[in-house]
Amino acid sequence: MDEERLRALLTDLKNDAISLDQAIASLRHLPYETVGDFARLDHHRSIRTGLPEVIFAQNKTNDQVVKIFKKLLEKSDRVMATRVSSEMYESIRNQLPGTIYHPAARILYSDKNDDQVKDRGILVITGGTADIPVAEEAVITATLMGNQVDRIYDAGVAGLHRLLDLLPTIQEARVIIAVAGMEGALPSVVAGLVAAPVIAVPTSVGYGANFQGLAALLTMLNSCANGVAVVNIDNGFGAGYLASIINRLVKKI
């Protein structure tokens, strides 16, 4: 249950539109609800943090994802599942009508407030085209959390002029997500050009000595530029979530 639904419920109770027993019944599964023997859903998270619980679909069965998704949808206007493979989606799509699937981001979601005005301020930049799937996970995550996200793709340091040509746009962002594989130098370059915080996302894109993203991760952790925070390898979701929190705080200032 998000804050908006809770406010509506308490307003109905105050105005005698519902009984006390009906209000208690609606709150019965707050703060969490047990689903089978495999999940405890945190319906209270949206009230505490402003953002709802998200399903990590990888390593879950199709049936588990469907049951969790439906239960969350009963209490929230926005439900999101990450790391949903195309094979899983094809198997469960008929059980979750009205949902939208982004194959590049591997995100499945339902958003009843899709027409809500979104906050500008987040920019996602990738080093290469191969980094786009991770970047799209960040983009869709931040979008579902109430942000309008701009993209600059394939602007890595091997062709620095591509980045510098767009410097005015880059410097307007409140928070930047820099997604890169190979040696992972992009976040350091970007952070040296802007006043905004930079969230660095190492990807597993690269040849052997890239070590599935470890080389990029270590480069980003050892950045000589200030204002860089680093999330885990291929963790576009974590970057999009963190950027949403930062953008929300900046808006309040």
* pLDDT tens digits, 164-193: 889 999 999 999 999 999 999 999 999 999
Q: For 229-237, what is the mean pLDDT?
A: 96
Q: What domains, with CATH codes, occur in the chain?
A: 3-111 (no CATH), 119-252 (3.40.50.1970)
- Would the pLDDT of 30 be above 80? no
Chain mean position to CA 230 = 15
User: CA distances (Å), 195 to each of 172, 175, 198, 252, in order?
Assistant: 9, 9, 9, 18
Q: What is the pLDDT of residue 246?
A: 93
Please state, in angstroms and rounded to a whole number, the distance separating the CA atoms of residues 32 and 94. Answer: 27
Within 13 Å of residue 138, how many CA atoms lie on the same side as its CB? Answer: 38
Q: Give pLDDT, residue 28.
A: 58
The stretch 129-149 carries a mean pLDDT of 94
Burial (CB count within 10 angstroms: exposed 0-12, middle 13-18, buried 19+), residue 23: middle
Confidence of residue 218 (pLDDT cuts 50, 70, 90): very high
* Model confidence pLDDT, tens digit, residues 56-113: 999 999 999 999 999 888 877 889 999 999 999 999 999 999 899 999 999 999 888 7
Q: Which residue has the higher pLDDT, 251 or 121?
A: 121
| Burial 213-242, CB ≥16 within 10 A → b, else e | bebbbebbeebeeebbbbbebbbbbbbbbb
pLDDT exceeds 70 at position 25: no
Average pLDDT over residues 14-40: 72
User: Does pTM top 0.95 for this prediction?
Assistant: no
Nearest Cα neighbor of 143 from 112, 125, 166, 120 is 120
| Spatial CA neighbour of 244 closest among 103, 146, 132 | 146
For residue 11, give the amino acid letter. T
Among 104-113, 122-131, 196-205, the minimum mean pLDDT is found in 104-113
Which backbone phi and psi does 193 adopt, to 5 degrees?
Answer: -110, -10
The confidence band for 27, taking pLDDT boundaries of 50, 70 and 90, is low
What band does 199 get if pLDDT is binned at 50, 70 and 90?
Answer: very high
Percent of the chain at pLDDT above 70?
A: 89
Among 71-85, 128-142, 186-200, 216-230, which is the least confidently predicted range? 71-85
Q: Residue 76's pLDDT is what? A: 79
pLDDT at 227 over 70: yes
Q: What is the mean pLDDT of residues 233-250?
A: 93
Specify the pLDDT at position 150: 95
